[in-house]
Amino acid sequence: MDESLDAWFAREILVHEDALVLYLRRCWPRRDDIHDLRQEVYVRIYEAAGKARPSMPKSFMFATARHLMTDRLRRGRVVSIETVGDFESMHVLIDELSPERRLGARQVLKRLAEALDRLPDRCREVVWLRRVEELPQKEVAARLGITEKTVEKHVAKGVRMIAEHFYGGPAQAGRSRQATEAGRKADHEQQQAD
């Protein structure tokens, strides 16, 4: 084995093991697979780094994990023709890309956009950076010039408000513009205090 590759791997990849495991746990539904996924990520990274070292190892590690999970999901959907046998006798509905599913997905996306629009400006910005762009809390705090604790508060508030929009019933989902503006004003005052 190439010792310099081993040293690079330990220095650039293994130091992020906890973050990788947390990421896999957050994204993968079956906890029993986490150890195997982690090992396969390491194998893929090690083999790729043997050819050319990635310039951004941590990002490469998370991208590799994401691609691995995608590959596993695809493989899980593929069914052998011999195994299935006669499709007609199974009475299986294939609705993966049905118009109903597309419409349902669009409706959920629309509701999510509405929920995000109802968030106070700074709260929406923090939630977007943390949950959509998946930036680390520390980076979000530095980028916005606020404390990490404030980032935590905004994320908690944003997630709570989005959940209320989705699950709180019509009274919560139909919050008035005044309530939203009051929330934004309070958010602005808290930001000024930080």
DSSP state letters, 13-64: TGGGHHHHHHHHHHH-S-GGGHHHHHHHHHHHHHHHHHH---SSHHHHHHHH
pLDDT at residue 121 in the model: 93
Least confident segment among 30-34, 95-99, 118-122: 95-99
- Residue 99, CB-side half-sphere exposure with 13 Å CA sphere: 0
Number of Cβ within a 10 Å radius of residue 151: 24
pLDDT at residue 189 in the model: 60
Tokens of 45: 């990274």
pLDDT at residue 114 in the model: 87
pLDDT at residue 105 in the model: 75
Distance CA 127, CA 151 (A): 9
Fold entry, domain 104-185: Arc Repressor Mutant, subunit A (1.10.10)
Q: Are 38 and 21 in contact (CB under 8 A)?
A: yes
Distance CA 173, CA 178 (A): 14
pLDDT tens digits along 25-76? 988 888 899 999 999 999 999 999 999 999 999 999 999 999 998 888 887 7
- For the chain, the average pLDDT equals 79
pLDDT tens digits along 155-191? 999 888 888 887 775 444 444 444 455 555 555 565 5
pLDDT at residue 74 in the model: 81
CATH number of this structure's domain 3-77: 1.10.1740
Distance CA 31, CA 118 (A): 35
Cβ neighbors of 157 (< 8 A, separation 6 or more) are 123, 187
What are the domain boundaries of the chain? 3-77, 104-185
Instruction: Give the predicted TM-score (pTM) of the model.
Output: 0.41
